């Protein structure tokens, strides 16, 4: 069992309320610089070895969204950035050095498919338009390990609105970059590269669906899926696709990378549920990065936010959770 211990700095920050979300421009600049300062204090003590060998890691401005701060210990940056799944760079957890080869400068995000007008956005566009907030989310990998990360980003619903999807758009398909020259695992022909993922429009518009551009107060580490990834805390980790180059609105349900490889093990929905085992292992508990074990919760503990999405889906049975 996990003992829920609040880090000291979180208790201090908890004085800050949700009002901070409703700010005017001047207040934003003033407050965000305060957070910038405090984040530097908070995360530097968590990370013992420097990040000097990693690309382009700079502090970012953001506001805290305390609505989603879970009462649990944040995984130290040193652990969460050294234990990653990013199969483009290798099939072990130790890909952080390999992933530094990814050049994230001048990254373009294409918006395509069933939208009023296709668009190309860049990272600065996104940050300037949508502003960054910090959300501390639980992450539960289908392999039964978990972590807690302070992500920086914005609610996906804001981006969807900006894209003006047509009413015929029912799903969103996300695609990761394809560049076998630097991501050498992409030379393996038996994988259906590039990595893709999908959501229904309703799921993508849920308040929890988060476009991530940073973590631990800084812009995103390459191994976390720089410069743009998703985080969907109620779903198994493989749905949270990294290093996104394209968001396509479509009327067909996308077939994701893992579903394509093994649809009986990794389905489209992949909602966390301790009661539905993976065909090869139990999902009842999870190994917490940094130590300990905890009981896995349905929807990874986010049922209040997301269970209504699935109230008419009982006919899917276990498919909803695999």
Ligand X SMILES: Nc1nc2c(c(=O)[nH]1)N[C@H]1C(S)=C(S)[C@@H](COP(=O)(O)O)O[C@H]1N2
Footprint of Mo ion (CB under 5 A)? 85, 141, 237-238
Token output for 225: 């899926």
Of the listed pieces 7-15, 103-111, 236-244, 270-278, which binds ligand X according to CB under 6 A? Answer: 236-244
Q: Which does 176 bind (CB under 5 to 8 A by kind): ligand X, Mo ion, none?
A: ligand X
CB atoms within 10 A of CB 232: 28
Q: Is 271 in the site for ligand X (CB under 6 A)?
A: no
- Give whichever of 102 and 126 is closer to ligand X, judged by the CB atom: 102
Q: What are phi and psi of 190, to 5 degrees?
A: -75, -10
Burial 19-58 (b: 16+ CB within 10 A, else e): ebeeeeeeeeeebbeebeebbeebbeebeeeeeeebbebe
Supply the minimum distance, in Å, between the C-beta of residue 176 and ligand X. Answer: 4
Residue from 35, 43, 62, 86 in contact with ligand X (CB under 6 A): 86
Q: Is 206 in the site for ligand X (CB under 6 A)?
A: no
Q: Is 144 in the site for ligand X (CB under 6 A)?
A: no
Contact of 303 with 311, CB cutoff 8 Å: no
Alpha-carbon Rg for the chain in angstroms: 19
Residue 217, CA distances (Å) to 42, 149, 174, 222 in order: 9, 11, 25, 15
Q: Is 88 in the site for ligand X (CB under 6 A)?
A: yes
Contact of 108 with 246, CB cutoff 8 Å: no
Give the helix/strand (H/E) hosting 202: helix 201-204
As a whole number of angstroms, the distance between CA 62 and CA 217 comes to: 8
3-state secondary structure of 146: strand
Q: Which of residues 163-182 bind ligand X (CB under 6 A)?
A: 176
Residue from 171, 210, 238, 299 in contact with ligand X (CB under 6 A): 238
Supply the minimum distance, in Å, between the C-beta of residue 234 and Mo ion. Answer: 14
Q: Which does 274 bind (CB under 5 to 8 A by kind): Mo ion, ligand X, none?
A: none
- Give whichever of 32 and 229 is closer to ligand X, judged by the CB atom: 229
- Give whichever of 137 and 238 is closer to Mo ion, judged by the CB atom: 238
Residue from 242, 267, 270, 309 in contact with ligand X (CB under 6 A): 242
Using Cβ positions, the residue closest to ligand X within the complex turns out to be: 237
Binding site for ligand X (CB under 6 A): 84-88, 141, 176, 195, 224-225, 237-238, 240-243
């Amino acid at each position: 069992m996990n003992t829920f211990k609040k880090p000291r700095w979180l208790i201090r920050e908890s004085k800050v309320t949700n009002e901070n979300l409703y700010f005017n421009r001047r207040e934003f600049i003033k407050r965000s610089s305060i957070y910038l300062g405090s984040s530097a204090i908070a995360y530097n003590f968590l990370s013992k070895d420097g990040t000097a060998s990693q690309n382009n890691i700079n502090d970012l401005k953001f506001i805290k969204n305390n609505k989603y701060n879970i009462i649990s210990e944040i995984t130290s940056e040193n652990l969460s950035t050294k234990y990653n799944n990013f199969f483009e760079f290798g099939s072990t957890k130790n890909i952080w050095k390999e992933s530094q080869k990814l050049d994230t400068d001048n990254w373009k995000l294409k918006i395509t498919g069933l939208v009023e007008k296709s668009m190309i956005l860049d990272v600065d566009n996104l940050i300037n338009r949508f502003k960054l907030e910090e959300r501390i989310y639980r992450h539960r990998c289908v392999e039964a390990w978990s972590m807690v990360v302070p992500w920086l980003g914005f609610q996906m619903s804001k981006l969807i609105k900006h894209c003006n999807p047509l009413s015929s758009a029912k799903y969103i398909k996300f695609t990761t970059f394809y560049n076998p020259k630097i991501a050498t695992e992409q030379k393996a022909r038996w994988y259906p590269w590039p990595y893709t993922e999908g959501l229904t429009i309703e799921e993508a518009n849920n308040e929890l669906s988060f476009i991530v551009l940073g973590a631990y107060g800084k812009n995103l580490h390459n191994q976390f899926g720089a410069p743009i990834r998703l985080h969907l805390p109620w779903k198994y980790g493989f749905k949270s696709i990294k290093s996104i180059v394209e968001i396509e609105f479509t009327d067909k349900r996308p077939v994701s990378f893992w579903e394509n490889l093994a649809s009986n093990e990794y389905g489209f929905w992949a909602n966390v549920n301790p009661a539905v085992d993976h065909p090869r292992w139990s999902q009842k508990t999870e190994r917490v990065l940094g130590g300990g074990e905890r009981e896995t919760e349905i929807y990874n503990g986010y049922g209040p936010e997301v269970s209504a999405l699935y109230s008419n889906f009982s006919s899917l049975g276990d498919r909803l959770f695999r």
